[in-house]
């Protein structure tokens, strides 16, 4: 199947999926509900999540299992996309979905620090046991960093995890290993994107390069605000996939004393707007602001990229943001937050 054939086939399916996604009215409806059960009922009875949520119908809804079932819809997307792609495109999307495996690894790293039961991990580890090749029983049995290394010994993540073993045992600081996992992820993603070349790489650079830029800005801000690392240490952790901001300006950001002074070196107006919103709003949810920017960009891309890879990436970003927002609403309702407070945490604007 040539590139000219494979993309229209999968993109036709994606276009149909996008047409069924939640709209602002759906968000307004569920954000006003008073319980997790009510949110489940609405999604089950009124949206395209009906079939995906069928396994929970008729049982008492527990938040973690509800959220896990929503996240599993990405696994269905993975299998559909991989079925219609070949060679380099398949390699790229296999790496793209590794971001969700990394989410699971980060969860494992955090749960090592706290008491937990196997059921907690079974419900929380969505991707490693379904997309990855690691047995879920091995994952839920992890109780220490050494256990983690043993389970991941034959995976692409082992070298990063092993490099930080001594440091973890010394100070229990997960930030360096989490950043290094993301560094490895984006480095490999860019490498595979360049192999595809042409208009495919232009869309990869536009979407994934934007995400890498904004993640780097977020990381420098967090490090400046909460940690005491040198400029050299900061630069070693940054994702080397640069799009609108070059390494020299990232270096200057890493050298500022106050985190807010970074703005003068963000030499791209649209990123400056994102940064200002984050530092004048709730900077603890910095990621919400960069995801909102990425979501808007993806919505534009999906209407202009039927014959290349851009539409697939855009759909996956839009879907990820939708699931994140549903989970945010579930959490907000569970903790009895006001409607306005929940909206503050949503990625989607205009709700």
Question: What are the pLDDT digits (tens) for 265-285?
Answer: 999 999 999 999 998 877 678
Closest CA to 108 of 133, 126, 91: 126
Residue 117 has pLDDT above 70, yes or no: no
CA distances from 237 to 87, 176, 181, 234 (A): 31, 7, 10, 5
What are the helix (H) ranges across 112-174?
118-124, 136-140, 145-151, 158-163, 165-171
- Alpha-carbon gap, residue 83 to 17, rounded angstroms: 16
Question: What are the pLDDT digits (tens) for 242-266?
Answer: 999 999 999 999 999 999 999 999 9
Residue 146 has pLDDT above 90, yes or no: yes
- Alpha-carbon gap, residue 178 to 180, rounded angstroms: 5
| Proportion of the chain above pLDDT 90, given as a percent | 65
Tell me if 208 sits within 8 A of 241, measured CB to CB: yes
**What are the tokens at 296?**
């808007």
- Alpha-carbon gap, residue 288 to 193, rounded angstroms: 26
- Whole-number average pLDDT of the chain: 90
Cβ burial 150-177 (10 Å sphere, 16+ → b, else e)? ebbeebebeebbeebeeebeeeeebebb
**What are the tokens at 1?**
């199947």
**Helix H or strand E segment including 305:** none
Tell me if 309 sits within 8 A of 78, measured CB to CB: no
- Binned at pLDDT 50, 70 and 90, residue 4 comes out as very low
Residue 182 has pLDDT above 60, yes or no: yes
Token pair 């490090």: residue: 223
Q: What does the DSSP assignment read for 16-73?
A: HHHHTS--HHHHHHHHT-SSHHHHHHHHHHHSTTHHHHGGGTTSPPPHHHHHHHHHTH
Higher pLDDT pick, 131 / 201: 201
Q: Phi then psi for 287, rounded to 5 degrees?
A: -60, -30
Q: What is the mean pLDDT of residues 81-96?
A: 89
- Alpha-carbon gap, residue 51 to 53, rounded angstroms: 5
Residue 193 has pLDDT above 60, yes or no: yes
The residues, any chain, with a CB within 8 Å of residue 243's CB and separated by 6 or more, are 205, 206, 209, 210, 212, 213
**Helix H or strand E segment including 237:** helix 231-237
Question: What are the pLDDT digits (tens) for 15-69?
Answer: 888 999 999 999 999 999 999 999 999 999 999 999 999 999 988 898 889 999 9
Residue 1 has pLDDT above 50, yes or no: no
Q: Give me the pLDDT at residue 39, please.
A: 97
- Alpha-carbon gap, residue 20 to 116, rounded angstroms: 37
Question: What are the pLDDT digits (tens) for 283-340?
Answer: 678 889 999 999 999 999 987 767 789 999 999 999 999 999 999 999 999 999 999 9
């Amino acid at each position: 199947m040539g590139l000219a054939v494979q993309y229209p086939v999968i993109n036709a399916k994606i276009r149909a999926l996008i047409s069924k996604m939640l709209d602002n009215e759906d968000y307004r409806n569920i954000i006003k509900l008073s319980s997790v059960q009510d949110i489940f009922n609405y999604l089950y009875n009124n949206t395209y999540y009906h079939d995906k949520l069928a396994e929970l119908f008729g049982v008492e809804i527990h938040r973690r299992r509800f959220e896990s079932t929503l996240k599993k819809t990405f696994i269905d997307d993975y299998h559909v996309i991989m079925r219609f792609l070949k060679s380099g495109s398949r390699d790229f999307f296999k790496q793209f979905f590794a971001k969700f495996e990394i989410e699971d690894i980060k969860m494992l790293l955090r749960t090592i620090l706290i008491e937990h039961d196997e059921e907690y991990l079974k419900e929380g580890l969505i991707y490693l046991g379904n997309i990855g090749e690691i047995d879920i029983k091995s994952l839920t049995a992890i109780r220490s960093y050494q256990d983690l290394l043993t389970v991941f010994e034959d995976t692409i993540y082992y070298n990063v995890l092993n490099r930080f073993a001594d440091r973890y045992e010394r100070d229990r600081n997960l930030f360096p290993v989490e950043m290094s996992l993301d560094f490895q992820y984006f480095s490999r993603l860019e490498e595979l994107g360049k192999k595809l070349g042409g208009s495919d790489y232009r869309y990869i650079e536009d979407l994934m390069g934007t995400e890498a830029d904004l993640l780097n800005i977020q990381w420098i801000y967090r490090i400046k605000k909460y940690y005491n690392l040198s400029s050299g240490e900061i630069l070693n952790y940054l994702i080397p996939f640069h799009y609108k901001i070059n390494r020299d300006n990232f270096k200057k950001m890493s050298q500022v004393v106050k985190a807010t002074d970074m703005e003068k070196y963000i030499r791209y107006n649209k990123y400056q707007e994102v940064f200002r919103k984050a530092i004048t709003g709730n900077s603890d949810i910095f990621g919400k602001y960069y995801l909102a920017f990425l979501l808007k960009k993806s919505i534009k891309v999906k209407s202009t990229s039927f014959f290349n890879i851009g539409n697939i990436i855009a759909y996956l970003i839009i879907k990820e943001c939708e699931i994140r927002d549903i989970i945010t609403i579930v959490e907000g309702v569970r903790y009895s937050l006001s409607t306005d407070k929940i909206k503050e945490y949503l990625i989607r604007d205009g709700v």
